[in-house]
């Protein structure tokens, strides 16, 4: 996964050079993933250390269904 700026450039190039719609959609998906990863890293870096229980509960949010089955 590249940086947000790198993935944004890939989207721009895909659009500029008239790549197929599925290639543009894939580039946009990778950009969204890079943005999410950056945001998660910023939040985790700013948060106090987590307990094992907190880490487990929060990791369920990334599971299919967003952890709804665990509540």
> pLDDT tens per residue, the chain (71 residues)?
789 999 999 999 999 999 999 999 999 999 999 999 999 999 999 999 999 999 999 999 988 887 675 44
* Domain extent at residue 19: 4-66
DSSP, residue by residue, 3-66 = -HHHHHHHHHHHHHTT--HHHHHHHHHHHHHHHHHHHHHHHHHHSPPPPHHHHHHHHGGGSTTT
**37 within domain boundaries:** yes
What pLDDT, on the 0 to 100 scale, is given for residue 45?
95
DSSP structural state of residue 71: -
**18 within domain boundaries:** yes
**57 within domain boundaries:** yes
Residue 62 CA to residue 67 CA, distance in Å, equals: 7
**43 within domain boundaries:** yes
Coil, helix or strand at residue 1: coil
**44 within domain boundaries:** yes
Specify the number of domains making up the chain: 1
């Amino acid at each position: 996964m590249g940086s947000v700026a790198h993935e944004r450039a890939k989207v721009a190039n895909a659009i500029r050079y008239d790549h197929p719609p599925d290639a543009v959609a894939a580039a946009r998906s990778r950009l969204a993933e890079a943005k999410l990863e950056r945001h998660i890293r910023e939040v985790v870096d700013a948060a106090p250390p987590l307990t094992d229980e907190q880490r487990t509960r929060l990791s369920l949010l990334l599971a299919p269904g967003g952890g709804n089955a665990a509540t």
